[in-house]
Every structure is written in C-alpha cells, then in structure tokens.
Amino acid sequence: MTITPEFIENLRGKVSLSSIIARQVKLTKRGTRSVGLCPFHHEKTPSFNVNDEEGFYHCFGCGVSGDAISYLRETSGLSFIDAVRELASIASVPMPEIGPIDRSKQKRQIALLSCIESASNFFQSNLKIEKGEKALDYLKKRGLTEKIIDEFHLGYAPRSGLNKFLKSIECTEEVSKLAGLISTSGRDGKNYDYFRDRIIFPIQNRKGQVIAFGARSLGDSQPKYLNSPESPSFSKKAVLYGWIQARERVRRNLPLLLVEGYMDVIAVTASEKAAALAPLGTALTTDQITLAWKLHDEPILCFDGDLAGRNAAVKAIKRILPVLEPGKTIRISTLPENIDPDDLIRQHGGDGLLLVINSAKSLIDAAWSQNASLYKLSQPEQRALFWQEIRNLVRTIANNQIRAAFGDEIERRIKVMRASTRNDTGALGFGYISSFNRTIERPKTGALRRTQTLLGLMIAFPKIAIDKFDTLSELEFGDLHCEKMKNHLFDALFREPDLDERALRYHLSKLGYNQTLSEIDEMLADLWNDNKKANKKSDEASQKIDEIISLSLAPRRR
C-alpha cells in the first residue's frame, strides 16, 4: 500500500488543526476561526489565524500558511513522510506501509533513542546533586543561569554509575555500546562508562530527540571535548548543535550565527541577541550549511578570532560557494584575535555581540578580502596571482545565475584595482609623477615630520591615497618604518577598497604601528582640528598631499 491523496485527505479530516496547534500556541475562538500569536515570528498582537473548517492556518503578519502536515514539518523539523506518520498517530489512523520495512531495525532504533534519552536524564539529575557540584559551579562561573542550563538539558557524567543505571532500566549491553555510552576495556575486558567526570551537552535532532552527547572534561583528561561515536542515530557531519533552541529564536526574527563550540552556542542564545548553531568538532560541511539554510536565508559565520578560526572561515567559504542558491547566502563576521563569541559576550555583553553581527561582511566581500590577504598586492605579479585565484574560486559555484553574478562583481573589482594602479595612458606607475622634478633634494631636517604628515593624510583620506597610488608608490619615504607602513596601508586598501579611516587605523594598529600612529596624531593635532572644522574636505586634503610631495619628498631614482 502507498500514501495516496485520498489517505492524506481522510487523515486531515480525522483531527482538528486547532487541536494540534493549541499544543504550542494559545488560541482564542473568534467565530469560525481561532487566533493566537504566530509561532513563526515574534509578535505582540495576534495575527495567526486557524480555520478548522477548511483545515489551514495563515498569519497576516509574516504571510506563512499551510495545513496540519506543513505545520508539523515546520515546527518539529519532520520530513513529509514523518509528518504524515505523526499526524496518523495523533488521529489513531494506521499508516500504510511504504515499501518493505525492517521491523528489527525499527525496533533497535526505538530502543537506541530510548536508551540515549534515559542517559540524558541520568546526566541531568547528577548535575543537581552533590556529585555534580563542581560541574554546576563551573557552568555558573561561565555566566550560565539555571534557566539556560535547563533549556539545553545540560548534565554531568560522574566517574562511574551510568553502566549500572542502564542495566537497571533494562537497556541491553548491545544497545548501550551502540549508543556510545559504554565501552569495553582492552586490558581486562570489563565495561566502563564512555563519559566520565565531564559536563554533558545533549545533542538533539530536528525533532527534539537526544541522539548523542558532547562532553567537556573538568580535570586534565584529554581530549578536552569528546563527542559520542557515530551510531545509527547520529552522524556528526549532518547535525548542528542547538537546533531546537535556534529555531525558536529565529522565529522571533533574531539573526542566526554559526559558531564553533557548545559554549559559544549557549552564550549567544542566552544573550537573547541572536540564535546560534555549531558543527560538532568538524569543519562546517555542505550538509550543515544546507541545514542552516532551513532556518535562515542568511546565517552569519562567526568563528574564533585566532589563526585557526580564520583558517576555518577560509575553508568554509570554499565549501559554501559551490552550494549557493538564489536567495540563500552566508555573511562572515570577524572577531577580535583570540576571542570567541563566549569571551566576547562575557567581556562586552550583548551589545558587543551586536557590533560584530552588524559589521559582518557579505560572502563576496569576505571571499575577496580573505584571499587578498594572502598576497602582497602592491606587487604586480602578486596582483595577477590573486586575480587568477579569485576567478578560479568563482568558477566553483554550481548555480549558473549565482556564478554569473559573482563573476560580474569580481571583474568589476579587478577593473577598479587595475585603474587605481595605472595612469591615464595605461602605463603602470609613471605618468603622474612626471610633473614633479625628479632631482628635488630631500631636506635634511623635517623630512620625517613631512613623511608622517603625508601618512596621516593618506589614512584620513584613503580614497585620495588610492587615486594617487602611482605617485605615492614611487616615492621614497626616507624612513624604513614609514615605508613599511605605507606598503601595508596600500595592501589593506587593495584588499578592501571601501576601508575608512577607523578601519585602516585598526588594521595598522594590529600590525604594530601604534607608536607611529600616536606620533602622527600628536604632530597633526592642529591639522586634524582644521580638517574637522572644514568637515575634512577632500579637495583641501588632496592639495595638501600634492604640496608635501612636490616640496619635500624625492621620487625613487631609477
């Protein structure tokens, strides 16, 4: 027997839609319909309507609509078949068999999930007693409230006791091992608890069932973080931690972050500024990217600010591009170095997190700047190599429309970069400086001050610096430190032409130019005040740069 349209129609008529929705939404009867607060977006005035007679719901606030099956799919993360099966169970209607069913496999899966759920309850109960006092103290010191601890069903695995507990509830040794809860010692052949003296993070599937565990050691045990081994219920490459909690917050129109660890997910969720998901100790996979898009069309990749985090972001971009679809993308946020989202929130609160979210780059901006950072773009051969690499990256996009759109934008940026490094005649680096006297001698006094003045103007007016690249790149600054600073400044501008003064200062500060920046600020105090009074007029700045170049700095001799 198969599932026919007649069976679906009959099933819908066996149970009222409002009785299903009322399990999660408080409904008020109004004539032939019921109304309540929409479960799919955050609202204060009820605009969610349920019509039992016609068997559909509709929200006049966000526009979502559907029937009982679509409601179960959207709210419980079920496939179509599983939603039909769930509705049949509610209506007490026998499900038709869909092809051959392995009854023994089905029975084992039920036993497996039951065993894992029981273990989760065991871990949670141990967190609240004397055994788990150390674990609970750790969580509270990390800023977790009892409410958030309960929402994520956090627990504690004692040094022993789980194996005995599982036997007491008649969970067989075979199932316990299959679930990754019990292991056998290769030394004496005895069974022992897989998780010992660890904080437990239950991992749920989209239906809210616990399918595995993550665990953090409290002592010196290695590894620091440990996941359940893969099982018939758990494939870590296809699961994201925090799905249930993220789904609830995305429905309140909060942004969605993709972070690296369990504590990052919990900290972001507790901030109430965003929702969060995390891969389980692996690089972000294409399955997980597609899964995240089921919750949000534009999640934000927010990995740690250290070298490993930046490398993870580069790899993630390479995985994301091939699976891009129209309307589905990812933004990339940059955290301060050696700071993860949990640290950020504890140090700067939810507002600090919002600053990171609001400054997230588009995928194309991130792909451009992340790759550009690998090259010295002031050198022509390095620019050519970068152009080749970024074009190759665009070619990996499978969707024709997305690939064409990205290709057009990349070519536009390459054209801008070319134009900024050429004069009007097309010759690289010669035309503009020809109007200056190449035999000008650099004054023996005041040269450093004039050089620093010029650097200050270039930082304050980066667009002018790009326009005058030909001239400025040919000039000897007479001081090795200032010369290096100039090159770093142009490298940054070629990577990201839209950088403003604040961003450039941050970039140069990270490269160790704090002292030089302070000297520039002190020396140019009067000039900055004048510029501020004049709203930093770019034409005056350009004139000042030309004046300094022509009077004080000698072009590089060939």
Residue 163 has pLDDT above 70, yes or no: yes
What confidence score (pLDDT) does residue 470 get? 65
Contact call for residues 157 and 197 (beta carbons, < 8 A): yes
Compute the distance between CA of residue 243 and CA of residue 266 in angstroms, rounded to an integer.
11
Task: Tell me the fold of 5-91.
Answer: DNA Primase; Chain A (3.90.580)
Residue type, 202: P
Q: Once rounded to an integer, what is the mean pLDDT over residues 312-328?
A: 88
Measured CA angle at 91 (ends 89, 92), to 5 deg: 60
Does CATH place domain 103-233 in 3.90.980.10? yes
The SS3 of residue 305 is coil
Residue 425 has pLDDT above 70, yes or no: no
Local confidence band at 534 (pLDDT 50, 70, 90 cut-offs): very low
Where are the chain's structural domains? 5-91, 103-233, 235-420, 432-552
Strand order through the sheet with 48-51: 28-30, 33-36, 48-51, 56-59, 65-66
Residue type, 48: F
DSSP notation for 178-221:
HTTSEEE-TTT--EEESS-SEEEEEEE-TTS-EEEEEEEESSS-
Maximum separation of any 2 CA atoms in the chain, in Å: 96
CA distances from 208 to 12, 78, 86, 122 (A): 24, 10, 14, 18
> Exposed, middle or buried by CB within 10 Å (0-12, 13-18, 19+), for 287?
middle
What confidence score (pLDDT) does residue 422 get? 60
Compute the distance between CA of residue 369 and CA of residue 315 in angstroms, rounded to an integer.
14
Phi, psi of 57, rounded to the nearest 5 degrees: -120, 155
Encoded tokens for 551: 């009077």
The SS3 of residue 478 is coil
Burial profile 187-203: b = 16 or more Cβ within 10 angstroms, e = fewer: eeeebebbbbbbbbbbb
Residue 533 has pLDDT above 80, yes or no: no
Encoded tokens for 308: 């490993």
Q: Once rounded to an integer, what is the mean pLDDT over residues 211-240?
A: 91
* 369 CB-side CA count, 13 A: 20
DSSP notation for 94-125:
PPPP-S---HHHHHHHHHHHHHHHHHHHHHHH
β-pair partners for 257? 276, 300
Distance of CA 81 to the CA centre of its chain: 31
Hey, CA dihedral for 372, 377, 382, 387, is it positive or negative? positive
For the chain, the straight-line distance linking the first and the last C-alpha, in angstroms and rounded, comes to: 86
pLDDT digits (tens, 9 = 90+) for 146-161: 999 999 999 999 999 9
Residue 82 has pLDDT above 70, yes or no: yes
Compute the distance between CA of residue 148 and CA of residue 146 in angstroms, rounded to an integer.
6
The SS3 of residue 332 is strand
Contact call for residues 340 and 352 (beta carbons, < 8 A): no
DSSP notation for 225-270:
EEEPPPBTTB-GGG--BTHHHHHHHHTTT--EEE-SSHHHHHHHHH
Contact call for residues 450 and 548 (beta carbons, < 8 A): yes
Encoded tokens for 349: 């609160």
Q: Once rounded to an integer, what is the mean pLDDT over residues 500-511?
A: 85
Encoded tokens for 195: 């998780």
Local confidence band at 421 (pLDDT 50, 70, 90 cut-offs): low
What confidence score (pLDDT) does residue 431 get? 29
Identify the CA nearest to 162 among candidates 111, 125, 108: 125
Q: Once rounded to an integer, what is the mean pLDDT over residues 476-499?
A: 77
Residue 542 has pLDDT above 80, yes or no: no
What confidence score (pLDDT) does residue 100 get? 62
Task: Say whether 103-233 and 5-91 share the same fold.
Answer: no
Identify the CA nearest to 254 among candidates 237, 275, 268: 275
Distance of CA 222 to the CA centre of its chain: 27
What confidence score (pLDDT) does residue 266 get? 97
The SS3 of residue 49 is strand
Contact call for residues 370 and 317 (beta carbons, < 8 A): yes
Residue type, 67: D
Strand runs labelled E in 22-121:
28-30, 33-36, 48-51, 56-59, 65-66
Contacts 24+ apart (CB under 8 A), 172-178: 172/111, 175/108, 175/111, 175/112, 175/115, 176/115, 178/108, 178/112, 178/231, 178/232
Local confidence band at 503 (pLDDT 50, 70, 90 cut-offs): confident
Local confidence band at 532 (pLDDT 50, 70, 90 cut-offs): very low
What confidence score (pLDDT) does residue 1 get? 46
Distance of CA 85 to the CA centre of its chain: 34
As a whole number, the mean pLDDT across the chain is 83
pTM: 0.68
Q: Once rounded to an integer, what is the mean pLDDT over residues 518-539?
A: 63
Q: Once rounded to an integer, what is the mean pLDDT over residues 468-495?
A: 76
DSSP H/E element including 3: none
Task: Tell me the fold of 235-420.
Answer: Dna Topoisomerase Vi A Subunit; Chain: A, domain 2 (3.40.1360)
Write down the residue that tokens 């091992």 correspond to: 177
Local confidence band at 539 (pLDDT 50, 70, 90 cut-offs): low
